[in-house]
Chain A
Amino acid sequence: MAGKSGREISAVPEGGIKSKLLSWEGALVLILIGVNILGVAISPNYNVNNVLREMPRYLAEIFMMFGMGYILVLGDIDISVGALVCLAGTVTVLSSNAGAPFIVAVIICLGVGLLGGMLNGFIATRFTELPTMIVTLGTQIIFRGIAEVLFETWGNGGGTASMADTKGLMLLAKKLGPFPIAFFCVIIVGVIMIVVLAKTTFGRKLYAIGSNKTAAYYAGIKVERIRFICYSLLGFLSGLCALFLLTATFGSNTTTGQGFEMEVIAMCVFGGIATTGGKGNLTGAFIAAFIIVCLRIALGQRNINTQVILVIIGLMLIISVLVPSISSAITARKKRA
């Protein structure tokens, strides 16, 4: 039953190199280059080796960012993962101190993360009427609460727990050439996460759910199962974050992971992912993450106060989310003229 009007509908994708350069990702690459030029300009110590030396703490966060990207694309949010990093790290340190071999400690670290994520996913999908912000605010308090109980009971006092046997961690903190192992891990995990989101049926389903949950459900997508998987995945990556954070800190305390969830959300949003769901991609977020990391390192080397750095990053974030409305306002004005 061919259409009787014989009208043809084009199926040729637009695009090409020009539209790629004009995209937000293109702009982010330019900003990244700009930030690095700025770094070299303002700090005599800003070079590859020094940047890489300061990077591991931030690299750990980037693992978590990939998982957060999925959650945001779904139109959900998870603010418990910073506390989950603290809990996973603490359990790992304490079990290692209690005599667990390093490989077991690693499995425990990832396992605690995964279980925490599954708990979030379970509550969020069983009680769909609850806003996920509130669900994960609750688990955030729970995770950190448990971690603090553990410090008090088995820690080194004063709200800390340090790893006695750091051999395993030192191994993970090693470098291959100038690059820390974490750097390669971030690249590998990042490429997988980016490709899964952009190219697979699973990724497409995330966008469908984030764009219109009802239509996605009517189209046969198992909405709640996919949400559960994404929360679990974010939990697991938070475990990975905790592990690599330990390679830089060799212990955990009451403030471990504090604010990580907001920092990774900021990276995602700066990278073009909308917190309302269904928009953006992890390539942008990945580049945005490195922009923020490089900026922090550069400004830090100039001994600029941490709080001032936070103000600058906050301003960047707000400007970045304003860009689409500003540019559409400009086009609207042009049209009128």
Chain B
Amino acid sequence: MAEDLILELKGITKIFPGVKALNKVHFQLRRGEVHALMGENGAGKSTFIKVITGVHAAEEGQMFLEGQEVHFKGPRDAQEAGIAAVYQHPTSYPTLSVTENIFMGHEDVKSGMIQWRNMNAEAQKLLDSLDADFKPTDEVGALTIAQQQMVEIAKALSTNAKIIILDEPTAALTANESEKLYEIVERLRDEGKSIIFISHRFEDMYRLATRVTVFRDSQYIGTYDVDGISNADLIKAMVGREITDMYPKEDIELGDEIFRVEGMTRTGYFKDVSFDVKAGEIIGLTGLVGAGRTETIESICGITRPDSGKVFLEGKELTIKEPVDAMKAGIILLPEDRQKQGLILSWGLGRNVTLPIQGELANNGFNDEKKERELAKQRLEEVDTKAVTIFQPASSLSGGNQQKVVVAKALAQSNMKVVIMDEPTKGIDVGAKKEIYEIMGQLAKKGYGIIMISSEMPEIIGMSDRIFVMCNGKVSGCLQRSEVTQERILELSMEKSDSKKGGAA
């Protein structure tokens, strides 16, 4: 082993309540290399990074830095050991200056006084080395995302980091800004820094990395030389897995079109999105995080106002200005963030279930608590919620059971015609996932139109009759159940950048 490894992780396992986020993963970083880390959403990349930077402590495994085993107790330890991370959305202090952000936590202090002049001069030097077009005294919040990332990189340099981790740095950047970032990364590499680069974009990997490590389902799949692996092989490594009978999708005679969206546009979020749903059909809406799926759905449901676009239910055009308009029409949204948007955590389960329909159950504006309790009990039992009473607070349940309460809340709305589920199984365990799929199947059987937004390929493929893929705010394609493969979805989700490169694959 003549390899000069600066960082090595062996058998790292990280367990969150109910979920194994990392399962015995390995990783080797050579001194002075740019190493890409790839995988689907939820493959465990971010958790892995947080283990390296000391944010999470791993349950199992060893970590070696320059051959020495290390145990980080917190981010501070990792920072002192020379590891720095730059995130997609910089976690800086927006109201403070560039200098203050760069030196946050390691200010230049002499006898209790902060040495502003020295620090500003030092910051200017760092910015110059990065060819930055802003001043150390600028307020960080007023900078672009690309500039904020540069501040973070400058911060990493100011701590004399030997290992720099870039977590999806190009996701929010334009092509020009990305190019500039590539140049910076190349320069850092030439200066002897070792770099871990996480990205969804193949272009980033081909341009920068010499090796790529792939994670899938919290597991280590392999490390490959970028020169020696084809695009297709890499995609297969990222997504290839057996689909079992996890997805109880039955073939149902589809009814007439029940719901249609035409030309939905909200500038800066999504553009000209159209799709339709038939009675009994499950539509999958997928794409990478940030493709505009949730934003589109939120506009359809009246959470935000679109610039243009039409929504038809059973052939009739709807005017939706507020969430209540969509709900009254029978379009029910199960929001993405169940803890913030879907539930009132401090409330009992029963009250959560009946909140949208309390007016219908009430007598002249007075709550009919008895009717509410009975209905809530019935709906919560239907979805098999693991709860003792309908009065226990929603916060007392696990993620999967909280999601069931959200489903029960939707089911309680008897006028429901179309159900929109935004990431219905995010962060819940396999058992609860399957139960949610079963409920979806039953709803489809009853003739509801179902739209499922999901980033998880297996469930999109397993449950959908048709799949609409979004990329950069637009629908980039629609795939029938019969013709869908993970590779085709991934192709449609990614920007067509690899074709531009003239067949890098």
A residues adjacent to B (C-beta < 8 A): 1-5, 7-14, 199-202, 204, 208, 211-212, 214-222, 278
Q: Is B32 positioned at the interface, with any CB of A under 8 Å from its CB?
A: no
- Chain A interface helix/strand/loop/mixed: loop
| Min CB gap A82→B, angstroms | 31
Kindly state the separation between the CA atoms of A212 and B373 in the bound complex, as whole angstroms.
Answer: 21
Query: In the assembled complex, which residues on chain B have CB atoms less than 8 Å from the CB atom of A3?
Result: 381-385
B384-A7 in contact (CB<8A): yes
Q: Is B359 positioned at the interface, with any CB of A under 8 Å from its CB?
A: yes
Name which residue of chain A comes closest to B355, CB basis: A219
Q: Mark B366-386, 1 if CB is under 8 A from A, else 0.
A: 110000011011001111111
B residues adjacent to A (C-beta < 8 A): 303, 322-324, 327-328, 333, 335, 340-347, 349-351, 355-356, 358-359, 362, 365-367, 373-374, 376-377, 380-391, 409, 439, 442
B389-A9 in contact (CB<8A): yes
Kindly state the separation between the CA atoms of A201 and B340 in the bound complex, as whole angstroms.
Answer: 22
B385-A9 in contact (CB<8A): yes
Q: B342: which of A218, A220, A221 is its contact (CB, 8 Å)?
A: A218
Q: A216: which of B344, B349, B382, B409 is its contact (CB, 8 Å)?
A: B344
| Min CB gap A328→B, angstroms | 15
Question: With A211-B347, A215-B340, A220-B324 given, is the CB distance from A200 to B362 under 8 Å?
Answer: yes
Q: B390: which of A9, A201, A202, A216 is its contact (CB, 8 Å)?
A: A9
Query: In the assembled complex, which residues on chain B have CB atoms less than 8 Å from the CB atom of A9?
Result: 349, 377, 380-381, 385, 387-390
| Min CB gap B444→A, angstroms | 12
Top 6 A-B pairs, shortest CB-CB distance: A3-B384, A220-B324, A11-B377, A10-B389, A11-B373, A212-B344
Q: B346: which of A7, A211, A218 is its contact (CB, 8 Å)?
A: A211
A215-B327 in contact (CB<8A): no
Kindly state the separation between the CA atoms of A7 and B382 in the bound complex, as whole angstroms.
Answer: 9
| Min CB gap A259→B, angstroms | 32
Query: In the assembled complex, which residues on chain A have CB atoms less than 8 Å from the CB atom of B373?
Result: 11, 13
B382-A2 in contact (CB<8A): yes
B323-A218 in contact (CB<8A): yes
Name which residue of chain A comes closest to B387, CB basis: A9
A-B residue pairs in contact (CB < 8 Å), sample of 23: A3-B383, A8-B381, A9-B377, A9-B381, A11-B376, A199-B367, A200-B365, A201-B359, A201-B365, A204-B367, A208-B347, A208-B355, A211-B344, A211-B346, A211-B347, A214-B340, A215-B344, A217-B303, A218-B335, A220-B322, A220-B327, A221-B324, A222-B324
Most buried by B among A8, A214, A219: A219
Could you list 14 further interchain pairs (A-B, Cβ under 8 angstroms) beyond the known A202-B365, A204-B351? Answer: A2-B381, A7-B386, A201-B365, A211-B346, A211-B347, A214-B340, A215-B342, A216-B344, A217-B303, A218-B333, A219-B356, A220-B323, A221-B324, A221-B355
Kindly state the separation between the CA atoms of A222 and B325 in the bound complex, as whole angstroms.
Answer: 10
Query: In the assembled complex, which residues on chain A have CB atoms less than 8 Å from the CB atom of B358?
Result: 201, 204
Kindly state the separation between the CA atoms of A202 and B367 in the bound complex, as whole angstroms.
Answer: 9
Query: In the assembled complex, which residues on chain A have CB atoms less than 8 Å from the CB atom of B356?
Result: 219-220
Name which residue of chain A comes closest to B337, CB basis: A214
A222-B322 in contact (CB<8A): yes
| Min CB gap A4→B, angstroms | 6
Kindly state the separation between the CA atoms of A47 and B19 in the bound complex, as whole angstroms.
Answer: 67
Kindly state the separation between the CA atoms of A5 and B385 in the bound complex, as whole angstroms.
Answer: 10
Query: In the assembled complex, which residues on chain A have CB atoms less than 8 Å from the CB atom of B380?
Result: 9
| Min CB gap A120→B, angstroms | 22
Kindly state the separation between the CA atoms of A2 and B438 in the bound complex, as whole angstroms.
Answer: 12
Q: B442: which of A1, A201, A217 is its contact (CB, 8 Å)?
A: A1
| Min CB gap B366→A, angstroms | 5
A13-B303 in contact (CB<8A): no
Kindly state the separation between the CA atoms of A215 and B376 in the bound complex, as whole angstroms.
Answer: 18
Query: In the assembled complex, which residues on chain A have CB atoms less than 8 Å from the CB atom of B335?
Result: 218
